[in-house]
Amino acid sequence: MDESMLKQLGRIASIIHRFIEFIARWLFLAAAEITGKPEVMPPINNNITMHNTQALAMMIRQKKLKCVDVMNAYIERIETIQPILNCVAEDRFKGALEEAKECDKLLNSPDAPSAEELEKNKPLFGVPFTTKDCIGVKNMKQTAGLLARKNIRAERDAEAISLMKKAGAIIIATTNVSELAMWWESSNLVYGTSRNPYNTWHIVGGSSGGEGCIQAAAGAAFGVGSDIGGSIRMPAFFNGIFGHKPSKGIVSNDGQHPSTQTDEQNDLLGIGPMCRFATDLKPLLKIMAAENAGKLDLNAKVDLSKLKFYYMEDDGGQFLVSPVSKDIKSAMAKLLYTLEIAHNVKAEKIKIKKFKKSLALWFANMTSPEAKDFAWELSNRKGRISVWWEFVKWFTRTGSHTFVAIFTATFEGLSMRFKDDKRARLLQESQDLRREFSDLLGTNGVFLYPTHPTPAPFHHEPLLKPFNFAYTAIINVLGLPATACPLGLSNGLPIGIQVVAGLYQDHLTLAVAEEIERAFGGWQVPSVKQ
């Protein structure tokens, strides 16, 4: 079959897919309405949880707030939202409170360090934080949403968590994920399904979905997520918060499960901060990056009027990917206008043809070596599951895996192999695209691109639009820094954009994120109408 015929079949498939999406949307809405109205989010009753991380840390070290009071405020908030949102995997409230008491004891001791010393050596002293269940926290469960791992505990902290603890932060809970972090709805057979704080009928994203959810609901001061195809940025988008995927190789990927199997996968994967306030991103990234922070020039002042801005409104029409919603395009246009008025910069609209191959490029970089595929991961690395037998067990409700995990293993088994010539060609195209972007962005270029084509779908709706993560996945292929920024609400659900810059130019995306927060208001307190 020649290429023109394949393209024609692709167009026909896309038309059919959009029709199915349209019909399914109404069916999901009807099904949701049958179950009643979305659950109502409780108001935020303690102003302590409304401070950004930097302000909170400052008030603790200056003894304007007791660390125990801060911890209790967040514990009470989590206890209030958890029955509604189901965002927490495991809490450690008792241990966190004990650590908070020790912090207060130290601050009130004769040998207490000065506020200046704490700011320098432990800039997050006493601040509560959370992280996704896939990232190891010593003595806490690290299930990765896999039923076979429901009782497995991490023997040590992941390096990113260790760095946060050394900076004085206190881990308060781990949060929910998709099964083995390979889907963009956070649902598994260990902890169940997480629900969106802006409308509980809708998803929180994945795989750092519980993290995006708890941040949006003001259940933690900040969070730590990871991103191999959009797992920080999609939950940030769906939950109306900020999330940053660093430049490849900057933050250690140590201590995650599942760990990567190839250099290509490791380049795709990145750990980064998730939070409600853009101004928190830079100091959090500085801590996570450790000795690599020097590569990022995070202290440099950024003059937005001197930057070159580029943008694309969509991916150019990739097959089986939803079109970008009008509200997202409208918000993007408003941002471009704001940049022009406030900073006298006019963004250039570009067209990157290879973006229509985003999915193929990402799958090529994600392909695992023989015998170490997703079916192997689903066995908890103890053999390989039989996908067909698992489908039978799923249909009879006796299985140990989610439908989407079994489907992913099936899809991988039918797609390209590790040593295929096609994969080699796509890896070369990935390199070509990286060079193209390097030449385009240089050290003062910024690229604006949708984070996702639609606001948060209904629960289970991603099954009908599985490839919509292409918008974030292609940035992982590039290995570039990307910051997800909220741009307000569309019919009550958050929308936003991702800001991308050249390799190691993370300070540019963070500076633009802070400007977007000033112009668009940033995070908004969730409110579900009764």
Q: Tell me which of 178, 194, 226, 231 is the catalytic residue.
A: 231
Residue 36 confidence (pLDDT)? 85
Average pLDDT in the 416-443 region? 96
Q: How confident is the model at residue 530 (pLDDT cuts 50, 70, 90)?
A: very low
DSSP string, 352-370: -GGGGGHHHHHHHHHPPPT
Tell me the sheet residues that pair with 52.
none
Burial category of 54 from C-beta neighbours within 10 Å (exposed 0-12, middle 13-18, buried 19 and up): buried
Cβ atoms within 10 A of the Cβ of 89, count?
Answer: 28
Which of 23-32, 308-317, 418-427, 442-451 comes out lowest in average pLDDT?
Answer: 23-32
The whole-angstrom separation of Cα 200 and Cα 206 is 15
> What's the rounded Cα separation, in Å, for the pair 235 and 244?
11
Count of other CB atoms within 10 angstroms of residue 228: 26
State how far the alpha carbon of 205 is from the alpha carbons of 278, 398, 457, in Å: 20, 26, 9
How distant, in Å, are the alpha carbons of 69, 84, 141, 399 from that of 220? Answer: 14, 16, 19, 34
User: At residue 1, does pLDDT exceed 70?
Assistant: no
pLDDT, the chain, mean: 96
Give which of 266, 297, 259, 215 is closest to 484, Cα–Cα. Answer: 215
Catalytic residue selected from 194, 207, 247, 430: 207
The structure tokens listed for 254 are 């140590």
The residue among 257, 315, 323 whose CA lies nearest residue 474 is: 315
Q: Which of 6-20, 167-181, 329-343 shows the lowest per-residue confidence on average (mean pLDDT)?
A: 6-20
Q: Indicate if 247 belongs to the active site.
A: no
- Strand-pair partners of 449: 498
Compute the distance between CA of residue 49 and CA of residue 39 in angstroms, rounded to an integer: 21
Whether residue 392 is predicted with pLDDT greater than 80 in this model: the reply is yes
The first and second tokens of residue 262, run together, are: 């190839």
478-528 per-position pLDDT tens digit: 999 999 999 999 999 999 999 999 999 999 999 999 999 999 999 999 985
- How many CA atoms lie within 13 Å of 503's alpha carbon, on the beta-carbon side? 14
Contact indicator for 315, 328 with CB cutoff of 8 Å = no
- Enumerate residues 6+ apart whose C-beta is below 8 A from 450: 313, 314, 324, 328, 332, 471, 497, 498
| Cα Rg of the chain (Å, integer) | 22
Check pLDDT > 50 for residue 11: yes
Among the listed residues 66, 132, 248, 356, the single catalytic one is: 132
Which pLDDT value is given to residue 119?
A: 97
Residue 528: predicted pLDDT:
58
Known active-site residue 231: yes
Higher pLDDT pick, 443 / 370: 443
pLDDT tens, residue by residue, 136-185: 999 999 999 999 999 999 999 999 999 999 999 999 999 999 999 999 99
Whether the per-residue pLDDT at 100 is higher than 80: the answer is: yes
Q: State the Cα–Cα distance between residues 181 and 152, nearest whole angstrom.
A: 16
Structure tokens that stand for 135 in this block = 């990232």
Query: pLDDT above 70 covers what percent of the chain?
Result: 98
CB count in 10 Å sphere of residue 67: 29
Chain mean position to CA 499: 14
The encoded tokens of residue 184 equal 């963009």
| Tokens 């050290």 sit on residue | 443
d(CA 387, CA 497) in angstroms, rounded, equals 37
14 noted as active-site residue: no
187-188 and 192-193 strand pairing: antiparallel
Beta bridge partners of 256: 135
Report H helices in 206-357.
209-216, 233-239, 263-268, 281-289, 326-343
Poorest-confidence range of 18-22, 118-122, 220-224, 279-283? 18-22
Rounded Cα–Cα distance for residues 266 and 269 (Å): 5
Q: How confident is the model at residue 2, as a pLDDT? A: 64
Which pLDDT band holds residue 44 (cuts at 50, 70, 90)? very high
Which residues face 202 on adjacent strands?
458
